[in-house]
Structure 1
């Protein structure tokens, strides 16, 4: 590795820990064309930020992202803050000549996402690139499922089913966090986890949603206000506040080929912790990816003899599978955190080659339009709503 790419990460929450893992581990397992250096981490609470920076491996800390953008020794800005800050930080970083990695969903509104995509297009003309962090794409089994579909393993796609099920809000006394406030999160289950379901369905199938018919629901409309420094399982603060986002989203979608999709995103699926599931059905076969069995896919070959029909489980841990050769011997499994190392690898390689990394801000903008269309459809009695600009 002959060059360095110095990273400044803005934010230090859950995604900060995950992205730090990715930056720290990727250059130790992959032969990268440049070395990512964990240069500075930004957080508003100086003491907390310093403690986490030492724990996660960042060399320095700062409290204002603007001072990071002014530095000549920062090449990549990694944004892991709540959605209401994405547009401001990303656009300023791109205008400062920094490559940008921004967590999903890209923004809190279509207008913000449009402006971010425009800024990324302008920056790309100067060799500066931006990417959205839809990390589940980089689970080897999901990437392998995409590859099988692309080479015709399921034939012409007729149906896609995508679900993302969680249950962390089933307790009505769980405290009110920023993820339940529209001004900070943009939306609830729809944007937080539904965005992943949309991206994975489009990524694996190679298709794009063109219209949707959906419904949103908020089951618990007010919650205890979260006390200072209290986690979801802790004691609430004083008073109650309104939940201003959805708890549940369900919609039907039509893709650009005419194929149909059904989608569900909920944080009230009792017993489900992180269940992302995408099934692609075609005239020659079907493929299923399930995050609860993330080292495998299920494949059905409809062209096989009748005596041999049935889904078979393919274990995606071989050296020839996507990303597999860098890790462990055959049959040894990978986990949630590996996707962030793959994300760092892919971004570093794209920047070094001078090529657009994926998913781009244009991709993120398209997904934002899908989310917005679902919300508008729900407001209009589940009327079919176009995802076009």
Structure 2
């Protein structure tokens, strides 16, 4: 009689940027978090047999498929990890869930509210058979952001009054940058709004425990045409380069959001600041091990923002890694995500964020787009 731990075979679709990040996480989650299910990197799916085989060798996948549908027919695959552009999320996720496979899907959940709603319906059908699904908003798993959520839930900020969220990048500031798929609406759904704006919407709602109920937004495409990838000539940019919007939460807070890929000098600055009646919190991803906290109940003569280095064993996720003060990075968030997903599947509970959470973010994105089309008119977020 053996006490061998149960395994879960993983089939991943896509092997570019997100595929590499997810592969690293699948390799590291077992040694560091000892999850109740042992993941087996069974198969990698991609359109090019040659490129996919090379990626599988490099990233640690045991076999290759050139049609993702083959993953659904394999008995050694119980979980599908979707790392493709948003235009294929709904088709893959719905088929996988209906085939009895657990699903992890990268954000944003889909390119449209309608697609996201179909994915939620499939997740609900699958849930009745014990099949789990999760959308990959990895920044929830930054230890400092997880600690911020705990502090807000514990009342350390009192009544929340302001939320300020930004995601600032500059990788498109050069007008000579090529017309990649992220700049094409049929592939990406939207530009900075859906790509990075989705992250700050989710982080803000997650940390505050409140949802956005209405928005007033503007979007802009600064460079209308860009050089074609690997070819002569130019093509039209069909998504936004930047988005800004105001919002209200269902808890009564005022919120501002900004997402841009034209903030020269800012590489990956996801920032959030919360102000409440009893204190404030501030975070910047470019210093992701730090959380800044101001306790407004302290004596004004000595009160002020203080830095919390979020690397102590008591902090979320940090204790699984290195001694205090030994910093974590971007890649660790994906490992934390998988640790939580595997624990939920083993326990028969619903992992978070759910597809329903992803749909709610999609509804906020759609409301911002409608508002921007109406010159910033106040627009309610549809209630699911």
CA drift at 1:59: 0.4
Deviation track 1:117-167 (CA, whole Å, cap 9, x = no partner) reads 111111111100110000011011110111111100100000000000000
Determine which of 145, 157, 160 is the counterpart of 1:157: 160
Paired with 1:150 and 1:289, the residues of 2 have a C-alpha distance of 17
Map of 1:301-380 to 2, 5 A cutoff?
Answer: 301-380=295-374
Considering only aligned residues, what root-mean-square deviation do their CA atoms show, in Å? 0.7
Paired with 1:39 and 1:346, the residues of 2 have a C-alpha distance of 20
CA drift at 1:377: 0.2
CA drift at 1:200: 0.6
1:64 and 2:67 correspond: yes
Partner of 2:224: 221
Q: Where in structure 1 do 4 or more consecutive aligned residues deviate above 4 Å?
A: none
Paired with 1:324 and 1:47, the residues of 2 have a C-alpha distance of 38
Paired with 2:51 and 2:34, the residues of 1 have a C-alpha distance of 33
Paired with 2:26 and 2:155, the residues of 1 have a C-alpha distance of 34
Partner of 1:138: 141
Partner of 1:272: 266
Q: Secondary structure at the match of 1:286?
A: strand
Paired with 2:342 and 2:187, the residues of 1 have a C-alpha distance of 30
Paired with 1:31 and 1:89, the residues of 2 have a C-alpha distance of 29
Partner of 2:100: 97
Q: Size of the alignment, in residue pairs?
A: 380
Paired with 1:142 and 1:337, the residues of 2 have a C-alpha distance of 15
Q: Secondary structure at the match of 1:128?
A: coil
Runs of at least 5 residues in structure 1 that lack an aligned partner in the other structure: 228-236
1:7 and 2:10 correspond: yes
CA drift at 1:309: 1.3
Deviation track 1:151-185 (CA, whole Å, cap 9, x = no partner) reads 00100000000000000001111110100000000
Paired with 2:318 and 2:269, the residues of 1 have a C-alpha distance of 23
1:176 and 2:170 correspond: no
Paired with 1:369 and 1:141, the residues of 2 have a C-alpha distance of 27
TM-score, scaled to structure 1: 0.97
1:296 and 2:299 correspond: no
Deviation track 1:234-268 (CA, whole Å, cap 9, x = no partner) reads xxx20110000000000001100111100000000
Paired with 1:83 and 1:131, the residues of 2 have a C-alpha distance of 15
Q: Secondary structure at the match of 1:226?
A: coil
